[in-house]
Amino acid sequence: SPSLTACSICLGRFHHNVIYCNTTQTWDKAHPTFAERRHAALYTKSGQLLCCKWQKDEGCSD
């Protein structure tokens, strides 16, 4: 079976709902996570919104 893409939060490639992943450690428990989900949006732990449109035609402007 094909590999799953890595989760933006835990970096895990296992089957889970990546839109709602809010773990505090990477999948292997080796590191604290850098980002967190807030209402399905991606934020750094310091509160900065991360743009998820970089891979789309319109890109990020902020």
| pLDDT tens digits, one per residue of 34-59 | 999 998 889 999 999 988 776 678 77
Question: What's the confidence (pLDDT) of residue 13?
Answer: 94
Question: What's the confidence (pLDDT) of residue 57?
Answer: 81
Question: What's the confidence (pLDDT) of residue 62?
Answer: 63
Question: What's the confidence (pLDDT) of residue 53?
Answer: 75
∠ CA 17-27-54 to the nearest 5 degrees?
Answer: 60
Percent of the chain surpassing pLDDT 70:
92
pTM confidence score: 0.76
* Token reading at 31: 């590191």
